[in-house]
Amino acid sequence: MSSVELGRRVRRHGSRTLIYVVLGVLTVVMLYPFYYMAFNGFRSLDQYYAGSGFSLTSWRGLFQALPVGQELLNSTVITLSAIGLILAVSTTAGYAFAVLRYRFSRLVFLVIIAAMMVPIQSIIAPEFVNLAKVGFINHRYGAILVYAALGAPFATFLMSVYFRRIPEDVIEAALIDGLGYGKIFFRILLPLAVPAMFAIGVLQFIQIWDDLLVGLLFLQTPDVRPITVGLATIPSQHLLDVPLLMAGSLISALPAVIVYLVFQRSLISGLTMGMSK
């Protein structure tokens, strides 16, 4: 080995080590908050101040301070129902925009894309007034509809991008074989769209489960409140009880984190799919 080559190798080795050091530091920065939450959630207030020992005291306190079970159930019902609605709307609408072109379909599609750009805060006040008029406040179905309406435009966009990738020959062949557009959708396109549906489902699960604003405004009574809202509006006497807050944070974060870890691939492919257009 010549000395030049040796030098190069050492240098490359050195820079690789440096990269790992940088990535290691970043890993600590990114993970420390979660470590902090997980550890302190299992301490009593005294143990928290002492910085050692573990107990379930704070969990007992948490269940007394908040109806945790009911709130987790509310979160689950709201999130899954909204995802169901979003998938039903986005697959059918995406199919219509991608395969069945009709008059003004481009225009309607553009309007839907434009709807993606409107921030929720811009429409939240009139939205609230409207839902209050029809008596949908403090009912889970009210929030479900709002979440579905917020999620559907982007999901429709993703689905139409996805359906457009399917070669037209496939659909033409099916038409020649005598399948109707309905059957083509259910028998051919929908099975092909399962990965995209997964991506949308995971994306929306995290978004809806983690959302505060809609739940805070549209679900004000404790019996319909999701866990994120319950935690954010925890009675102020608990705000200094760090272990209790961390226990609550942990249980409210866990479902979305598990979904993220299990379906990470779907999530990332969903995000990049939306980007490539």
* Distance (Å, whole) CA 86 – CA 204: 9
The site string for another protein over 27-56 (x = CB under 8 A, - otherwise) reads x-xxx-xx-xx-------------------
Q: Output 105 or 130, the one with its CB closest to another protein.
A: 130
Among 263, 249, 243, which Cα is nearest to 42's?
243
Half-sphere exposure at residue 24, Cβ-oriented, CA atoms within 13 angstroms: 6
Are 142 and 129 contacting, i.e. CB atoms less than 8 angstroms apart?
Answer: no
Measured CA to CA, the distance from residue 242 to residue 183 in angstroms comes to 56
Instruction: Establish if 23 lies at the interface with another protein (CB under 8 A).
Output: yes
Does residue 262 touch another protein according to CB under 8 A? no
Identify residues 181-220 at the interface with another protein (CB under 8 A). 206, 209-213, 216-217
Cα four-point dihedral sign 19, 22, 28, 33 = negative
Only one of the segments 91-99, 137-145, 189-197, 269-277 lies at the binding site for another protein (rule: CB under 8 A); that segment is 269-277
Q: Which of 152, 189, 259, 266 binds another protein (CB under 8 A)?
A: 259
* Interaction between residue 17 and another protein (CB under 8 A): no
Q: Which is nearer to another protein, 23 or 111 (CB)?
A: 23
What is the Cα–Cα distance from 193 to 161, expressed in whole angstroms?
A: 11
Token pair in block for residue 133: 């008029």
The DSSP letter of residue 238 is: G
Question: Least distance to another protein from the beta carbon of 213, Å?
Answer: 5
Give dist(CA 247, CA 266) in Å, integer: 29
How many chain residues bind another protein (CB under 8 A)? Answer: 54
Residue 43 backbone class (left: φ over 0; alpha: ψ -120 to 50; beta: rest): beta
Task: Map the footprint of another protein across residues 133-152, applying CB under 8 A.
Answer: none
CA separation for the pair 216, 206 (Å, rounded): 17
Which one of 122, 130, 168, 187 is in contact with another protein (CB under 8 A)?
Answer: 122
268 binds another protein (CB under 8 A): yes
Using CB under 8 A as the binding rule, whether residue 20 contacts another protein is answered as: yes
Q: Which is nearer to another protein, 33 or 180 (CB)?
A: 33
Q: How far apart are CA 197 and CA 208, in angstroms?
A: 16
For the CB of residue 53, give the shortest distance to another protein in the complex, in Å: 19
Please provide residue 229's backbone torsions phi and psi, each rounded to the nearest 5 degrees.
Answer: -70, -45
The stretch near another protein (CB under 8 A) out of 140-148, 169-177, 190-198, 251-259 is: 251-259
What does the chain come to in residues? 277
- Our finding on whether 125 is near another protein (CB under 8 A) is yes
Return residues touching another protein (CB under 8 A).
16, 19-20, 22-23, 26-27, 29-31, 33-34, 36-37, 117-126, 128-129, 206, 209-213, 216-217, 228, 231-232, 242, 245-246, 249, 252-253, 256-257, 259-261, 264, 268, 271-272, 275-276
